[in-house]
Structure 1
Amino acid sequence: MPWIPAWTAADLIGHLGTVHRWATAILQAGHTERPSPDAATPPPAEGLLEWYAAGLTALVTTLRSTPPDAPAWHMSPAAEKVAAAWARRQAHELLVHRCDLEAAAGVAHATVDTALAEDGVDELLTVVVPRWAHTEPLSTAEASVAVTGSDTGRTWSVRVLRGVITVEPDLTGAEDAHLRAPVHALLLHLWGRPANVSLDGDPAAAALLRGR
């Protein structure tokens, strides 16, 4: 993978297949308790694509047959613990990793729905970043970052205060850094992928929001 040198395309497909089965097990459990480690199923040595396809089919079938408000555990303390949160998480998981595979294949990125990309930025800032709040550097940092989708006009003001993450929809104008780009580029950049974005202010503050 050009963006993740330690991974091959097969590694990425195996990762996605494992995540699909993990999410399916969480949805089928019907409660908000942390899943057993046994819920993660490693990929097989042979028949990877068939294994992946079966897991994706099971995930989609489970998402379609589970009420959106059904209880479901989630790894982020900021996420609502319902099945709908997993439909959202898996949509964005697939979107970003599809871009990884396109880069590995040397083909142009397929068109991404603007509303989907914008929601991906929102999910990362409001759900995913708080999941990391107890880890360095977020646990000791004090900074604020403005994020603007230049194509949609959507804005987020993210405040990091020693492990506490708050996100507001309106900018204060006093943020330490300001990221601007179309929402698809923002999504890739915030997940640590190459993308053309405009940055004003403190690069270290803006780096706090990047995926790992």
Structure 2
Amino acid sequence: MGRRLRRDRHVAPRPMGGHPELDGAELVAWYRDSHRRLLDTLAGAAPDVECFTFLPGPPSALAFWARRQAHETTVHRVDAESARGGASAPIATEFAVDGVDELLRGFHARPKSRVRTESPRVLRVRVSDADAAWTVRLSPEPPVTTRDADTEAECELAGPAEEVYLALWNRRPVPAMSGDPVLATLWRNTSAVI
């Protein structure tokens, strides 16, 4: 994404480059350089820059890419910490709530979402350490998610925002589930982002 955001301003998807054939210290140095270039690009971009985005949500392309890269980095950081063993660094509540929102109302609003049911069903996601809940309406079409708890749900996934965030990305078990466990299993089995 780097220079393309600021210089080229592509408004359509571009092919990704291949993965580097690096390991160990060279891979870490490549990652740090890439991370620095990403931050420089985001910091130097005009607030109204126009470029490709692939999810609904943030008010600008710059806000989209800052948000997307922050959540991408966080989930992969948790993966790396898990592979290393030991505890993961904490994730701030407000950031985790935003990540749940991006996943439910962004990624799973797209036609690519495989979280579907033959007949209409309702799943609730609720965080216990912030005033945030989502109603996910399931059907043969992509899920439709609203930021509310106004509708009766058949299943609820709940817990602290950090734990719900990581559970919805299938990095941790769901902290608490009530109602029909079939919907919790459906999420775990079909929610991988492709």
- TM-score, structure 2 length as denominator? 0.84
CA contact (8 A) 1:26 1:73 kept: no
Note the C-alpha offset of 1:24.
2.1
Note the C-alpha offset of 1:87.
0.5
Q: Percent identity?
A: 32
| Residue aligned with 2:143, SS | strand
Note the C-alpha offset of 1:67.
2.5
Is 60-69 or 202-211 further displaced after alignment?
202-211
Equivalences, count: 186
Matched, 1:200 2:190: no
- Choose the corresponding residue for 2:49, options 63, 70, 79: 70
C-alpha change, 1:142 and 1:207, in structure 2 (3 Å) is farther
**1:50 counterpart letter in structure 2:** A
Gaps of 5+ in 2: none
Is 93-102 or 137-146 further displaced after alignment?
137-146
Equivalent residue for 1:27?
A: 5
Equivalent residue for 1:166?
A: 144
Matched, 1:144 2:122: yes
**1:181 counterpart letter in structure 2:** G
**1:27 counterpart letter in structure 2:** L
CA deviation profile, 1:77-134 (whole Å, cap 9, x unmatched): x345612111001111111111111111112121221111111111111111123x34
Matched, 1:182 2:160: yes
| Residue aligned with 1:98, SS | helix
CA contact (8 A) 2:100 2:164 kept: yes
Equivalent residue for 2:22?
A: 45
CA deviation profile, 1:124-147 (whole Å, cap 9, x unmatched): 11111123x345453856322111
Note the C-alpha offset of 1:50.
1.5
CA contact (8 A) 2:114 2:142 kept: no
**2:136 counterpart letter in structure 1:** V
Note the C-alpha offset of 1:208.
4.5
| Residue aligned with 1:175, SS | coil
| Residue aligned with 1:164, SS | coil
- Choose the corresponding residue for 1:119, options 98, 114, 119: 98
CA contact (8 A) 2:157 2:174 kept: no
CA contact (8 A) 1:148 1:156 kept: yes
**1:128 counterpart letter in structure 2:** F
The 5 Å alignment of 1:79-158 reads: 79=57, 82-131=61-110, 133-138=111-116, 142-158=120-136
| Residue aligned with 2:177, SS | strand
C-alpha change, 1:138 and 1:196, in structure 2 (3 Å) is closer
> Residues of 2 paired with 1:84 and 1:128: CA distance?
16
**1:44 counterpart letter in structure 2:** E
| Residue aligned with 1:125, SS | helix
Gaps of 5+ in 1: 1-22
Cα RMSD (Å): 2.3
> Residues of 2 paired with 1:184 and 1:55: CA distance?
27
> Residues of 2 paired with 1:88 and 1:157: CA distance?
22
